[in-house]
Structure 1
Amino acid sequence: MVMSQARLALLDGSTFFTTNGLGDTDMADDGLYFADTRHLSLWRLTLDGAELHLLSYDTPQYYSARIHATLPSVSVGVNPTVSVRRDRIVATGVHEDVVLENYSDEERDLVVELALDADFADIFEVKDDKIGSRRVTVDVDTDTITFGYRNGDFARATKVVFTEPGTLQPTSMRWAVRLPARGTWTTCIDVICSDNDGEHKLRVGHGGFGRLQPDMPQTMQQWLDEAPVLHTVFDPARHAYRHALQDLAALRFHPIQGCVHSVPAAGAPWFMALFGRDSLITAYQALPFHPRLARTTLDALAMVQATQVDDFRDADPGKIPHELRHGELTATGRTPHSPYYGSHDATLLFLILLDEYERWTGDTEAVHRLEPAARAAVAWMQGPADPDGDGYLEYRTRSPQGLANQCWKDSWNSIMFADGRVADPPIATCEIQGYAYDARLRTARLAREFWHDPGLADQLEQEAAALRQRFNTDFWIAERGHFALALDGGKRQVDAATSNIGHLLWSGIVDDEHAEATVALLLDPKMNSGWGVRTMSSADHGYNPIEYHNGTVWPHDTAIIAEGLRRYGHREQAAELGVKLLEAAAAFGYRLPEVFAGFQRKGNKPVEYPTPSSPQAWSAGSVLLVLRTLFGLDVEDGTLRWAARPAGFDGPMRLENVPVRGRRQTVEI
């Protein structure tokens, strides 16, 4: 890849800046985004009217970059004498230093120009390449350009402030620079974003790049220091672990006003938002490493739990949201993401995480404080989640803009039969029934031990037992030897062989008589690519190794399946699956992408999926869950338990300072 064609993305919560390696916007979706709105659509630096020649760039932190370039006229055999450095920090807004240095004995006259513009496009418009026209105002002052936009009660503004005087136009700043021999020229630029709450102060000031440290909620080093320390000779695990911690740090943000601590966003750049399912699974994955993520995630989601029926947003009382956005389309009611509740599993995962969080932390205060939210979630599970009352949780969108599929595989064609036919709603996917089973048992424990409600506990346990018995009959396809992906609107078994059945092992709903066949299918080469478990068997008609949910490999999916294998006693196979996933991480520079292609393993690297999110929260968390699986970590009766090293795994491996119920422990296998 040509250096200037490399992509650069800097993050600070819901603020992110995507450019090429030079630091310039050059693609239709590039720009500075703040709270789901593009505040800069053009940002391009030129010298003497030409693009710079990129030498290199570095990203010391997820929010900072240092870019080195030189004059565009550099050619083979000609030594450059002028260097250009751009030091950029994203911290609510942007601070950028532009530094020119002359290494010759002659002064140079240069024209430095920054072209800039703002279109205030909604992030959904940019993603869909359907950007509407807006009447953007531009105010030019001595050292400031301010772009503004208002639509009714929705207001946004971008203020750009320059320290060096120049010729300021509505969409450009031009400096005529006389660069002394052996001299330096510098300008500092601040970009400040505003919304309906007013101007959001830029959390950096002018000065040298090394001294510009934003007032982050928690610095990267603090975050790394609080995590357990991994010692291993297995390089993929060691490097992927550190990279995963760094990515999770980068994806922390404050999703709503009043949310004191940060929660994990789903992924960069397009999913820097609160996603119920993604945030809950990520927090679950991170529990033995950073348990606070679970508490803050539970608190944030409880704040936006549905309290009334709203068909446009697929909302029912007690439901945990799917996605929360803050852009113009949402603010003006044109999209339902305020928040949108089209997820049929997030509410169940909320209950699962609350129980698992208490087991690891002993935080009974949170269990009591979140009791009303948990009870509301149970009421939803027992009522609106099962509209026809048949005992299975099924979904069908009521919103004209709702998701057709409201399981984790939420693309329109992800629930299909083995012959490729797409299932008709309402749809009851298998893994959602497993989550419902697990959520009932876990909530029963909370009700009995902490809420002093044995009646509710007994009821939930009875419901779980009945669900398990019926499920193992109604979802089992005897002639194919595996569980159905789902029941469709006609209660027909959707017979494709998919990774969803692996989640059944994680939830514990599978009877012993079906467990071995389930494990065998997941490990069969038709499902197991050698890098991870495919979302669909290569033997089924709908299989496509590069289709989003019908043949690709998702790291979080495979990690959950590995943990399910461990739960059912298949530790060696679970470890093997986890190791393969870590080897895939090594092939991707130790960062697992959101998804990769499902081609059979040949060579040293999986085939990439065309457009994955990266970094992605539950992919980073997958590394942590794999480590939990390898160590065999569980908390039972307040005590941390771990298992012997799995057969076939090269050891030893040690994890120091594991946080367990207010203590720090070390485990070794």
Structure 2
Amino acid sequence: MTRASLPRLQYSLIVFRGACSILRREKGEDISLLNGSVWVTAGSAFCISDARGDVRGREEGLFYRDTRHLSRFVLRVNGEIPHLLSSESSGDCAGFYLFAPAGGSRNGLSIMRRRELAGGLREEIRLTNHTRRPVEALLELELDADFADLFEVKEHPAGRTDEPVREDGGGLRFVYRREDFRRDTRVRLETAEGGVKLDSGRVGTRLSLEPKQTATVLVTITPEAGGVPAAAPAGPQRSVSPALHTDWETLERTWEQSLADLRALSFRLDGEPGLLLAAGLPWFMTLFGRDALITAFQTVHLDPEFSRSTLRALARRQATDFDDFRDAEPGKILHELRFGELAHFGEVPHSPYYGTVDATPLFLVLLHEAWRWTADEEFVRELERPARRALEWIKRYSDTDGDGYADYRMRSSRGLNNQGWKDSDNSVLYADGTRAEPPIALCEAQGYVYDALMRSAELAERVWRDAGLARKLREDAADLKRRFDRDFWVEARGGYYALALDGTGRQVDSVTSNMGHLLWSGIVPEERSRAVADRLMEDALFSGWGVRTMSEEDGGYNPIEYHNGTVWPHDNSLIAYGLYRYGYRAEANRIATAMIEAARHFDYRLPEVFAGYRREETRFPVGYPTTCSPQGWAAGTPPLLVRAMLGLEPDPESCELALDPALPEPLSTLRLENVPAFGELWTVEG
């Protein structure tokens, strides 16, 4: 094991094409997105177009800070829509290759549209005359901006009525005003020949092309929020990423794709100096408490700065008051933050929305984990007050029905009925398939609380120098562990932990992947751990590609139901890490191997979710229609699996890394370089 000094990393733009065909709203409604769509994203901005590069409304458009700044962007040449040759994406741009008739030839003009999104949208359009005679080409762009809120686009793809457009210094400017909410879109068209024509919702220029001549037109589209133009995303990070070397090519390629996706999902929030990780493309390029905390945990050994910036951003937005519309209580960590018109005027509760039972304990878990990897006591002291507020929320407000367990019950008229990570309306079912009604005390939420108490006790003892608090937290954790095993353990069906308790104290007795998170948290007594591990790995739960969200034997099981039979990579990474934590290395490696093998069938990018069919039935993992990709905690899955393979753990007292490798069968060597810990870079090998 070697170490070196720690440099900084620069992040770049990544472009994605056709990553999703159907989108799912959090409350379970499906939204269609055109197949073959091309996406470009940078920070808080993204653009979705068709394969020609055109935007025609529906779910397409240029979006910035949860507002659609461009709802129509259609290229015409001599009044006609060009024909498509192909489109592609690479690194930091998207390219669209088209042709149009000219000079007596049906393909006399070739057209290239090269698009880049860096704050605003910049598009270079090149027309080449391939005929043997001069050609006149009228290039026109039809434009519109409906300034629809992201929630409106998802719920009502037709958008709004047209908004005012005006000429603005040689370009067009679309304007939207509602009281103090202001959004603008500025459009400029530049050409060497000049002669730009402006009309309401249309810009154009006439080009004279000699045989074999090429002309270039440059279009820039700049969104503005509150009079401030969108800026290109940038932020200092380490100049090198952890590099993985192994004799298993599939793992290497999956690792590289994971790092690329994490870079693409990084963004900067107002007033925050550090980069954060968005939940996923396209509709979730913002801060989600649970997603950001879990992804930062999965990747803390790649870059602990994400953990620190995530914790700071969430601490600054920690709830201070009771607010039923936003499901908020003092000390609670947010679920989702939005910046669009509906959130601005309180028509949706996402300013921010706090409807999550698990983000607050996970905040404490990540704070401790960040300390383990950095030994940064100053940072832990900086966040002592938010941490104590989070502990107070757990103690005073997390239990709504007085049974001693963290639970949830929606108070908001626009909130989430289910407030764990499985947040669809039908995600909490009894074994017979009927729905449980809130208040719901999820099993994994109790595990997170237990882990938060134990980790906070160590911080209280070693950093905050509060022995009394440390002692009380450990006592509370021990009591929770004892009661939890008594109340959640189900003796039937070979023994397992129930998914939840309902408001009457009845066990929600379906067999689910949630119990795997209990191993990650450490709440499972050693004498129960073998039974939990065996249940997770039996055929009814383990598909061959991963642990399903629900057992085949349960009444609610469906291999293509969002949370009731599918396989979620992030879920499996936490289960595998929990198995590793309890010493079940073979089982952890079986999950890790299945996940990496599945990634190969998805072009080495693990999706958010895939279908739960048995491996022997399909021979390949079946993609799920409502998945979006890249997605934060799916991208975080390979790093956490590799950490479990290596048995890689930090010791903040000695500022050393411990290594206990147990490699799965496809591997004989595994080397990880440039691992940041305690202000240095390490190389570890198993």
Partner of 1:207: none
- The question of whether the paired residues in 1 share the 8 Å contact of 2:145 and 2:162 is answered with no
Shift of 1:175: 2.5
Indicate yes or no: 2:374 matched with 1:361.
yes
What is the correspondence of 1:205-604 to structure 2 with a 5 Å cutoff? 216-218=234-236, 225-255=239-269, 257-480=270-493, 481-602=495-616, 603-604=618-619
Shift of 1:628: 0.8
Partner of 1:641: 658
CA distance in 2, matches of 1:97, 1:371: 51
Distance 1:297 1:584, change over 3 A: same
Cα root mean square deviation, aligned = 2.1
Indicate yes or no: 2:206 matched with 1:176.
yes
CA distance in 2, matches of 1:554, 1:476: 24
Distance 1:497 1:123, change over 3 A: same
CA distance in 2, matches of 1:358, 1:535: 31
Indicate yes or no: 2:120 matched with 1:93.
yes
Q: Cα deviation per residue 1:396-444 (whole Å; 9 max; x = unaligned)? A: 0111111111110011110110111110110000000000000000000
CA distance in 1, matches of 2:158, 2:214: 41
- The question of whether the paired residues in 2 share the 8 Å contact of 1:39 and 1:193 is answered with yes
Count of residue correspondences: 649
CA distance in 2, matches of 1:59, 1:261: 28
- The question of whether the paired residues in 2 share the 8 Å contact of 1:100 and 1:186 is answered with yes
Counterpart of 2:65 (choices 27, 32, 35) is 35
- The question of whether the paired residues in 2 share the 8 Å contact of 1:138 and 1:170 is answered with yes
Distance 1:22 1:72, change over 3 A: farther
Counterpart of 1:185 (choices 209, 215, 219) is 215
Shift of 1:142: 5.9
Q: Cα deviation per residue 1:185-219 (whole Å; 9 max; x = unaligned)? A: 111111111122x131554xxxxxxxxxxx6325x
Indicate yes or no: 2:111 matched with 1:111.
no
CA distance in 1, matches of 2:162, 2:248: 57
Shift of 1:649: 4.1
Partner of 1:139: 166
CA distance in 2, matches of 1:381, 1:347: 8
Distance 1:647 1:180, change over 3 A: closer
Shift of 1:57: 3.3
CA distance in 2, matches of 1:516, 1:391: 27
Indicate yes or no: 2:664 matched with 1:650.
no
Equivalent position SS for 1:584: helix
CA distance in 2, matches of 1:72, 1:397: 59
Give 5+ residue unaligned stretches, structure 1.
204-214
Deviates more, 1:312-321 or 1:186-195: 186-195
Q: Cα deviation per residue 1:589-619 (whole Å; 9 max; x = unaligned)? A: 0111111111111455311111211110100
CA distance in 2, matches of 1:586, 1:27: 34
- The question of whether the paired residues in 1 share the 8 Å contact of 2:645 and 2:661 is answered with no
Counterpart of 2:182 (choices 146, 150, 155) is 155
CA distance in 2, matches of 1:260, 1:626: 29
- The question of whether the paired residues in 1 share the 8 Å contact of 2:646 and 2:661 is answered with yes
Q: Cα deviation per residue 1:5-28 (whole Å; 9 max; x = unaligned)? A: 522111111100011222112461
Shift of 1:79: 8.8
- In structure 1, give the amino acid aligned to 2:94: A
CA distance in 1, matches of 2:178, 2:508: 46
Q: Cα deviation per residue 1:348-390 (whole Å; 9 max; x = unaligned)? A: 1100000000101112121010111101000001110113332
Counterpart of 1:619 (choices 634, 638, 651) is 634
- The question of whether the paired residues in 2 share the 8 Å contact of 1:53 and 1:74 is answered with no
Distance 1:22 1:647, change over 3 A: closer
Deviates more, 1:23-32 or 1:451-460: 23-32
Sequence identity percentage? 46
CA distance in 1, matches of 2:469, 2:197: 72
Q: Cα deviation per residue 1:19-52 (whole Å; 9 max; x = unaligned)? A: 1222112461000001001000111112233332
Distance 1:647 1:226, change over 3 A: closer
Equivalent position SS for 2:592: helix
- In structure 1, give the amino acid aligned to 2:373: W
Equivalent position SS for 1:301: helix
CA distance in 2, matches of 1:91, 1:545: 40
Shift of 1:128: 1.4
Partner of 2:229: 200
TM-score by length of 1: 0.94
- The question of whether the paired residues in 2 share the 8 Å contact of 1:226 and 1:290 is answered with no
Deviates more, 1:22-31 or 1:584-593: 22-31
CA distance in 1, matches of 2:169, 2:620: 54
- The question of whether the paired residues in 1 share the 8 Å contact of 2:144 and 2:162 is answered with no
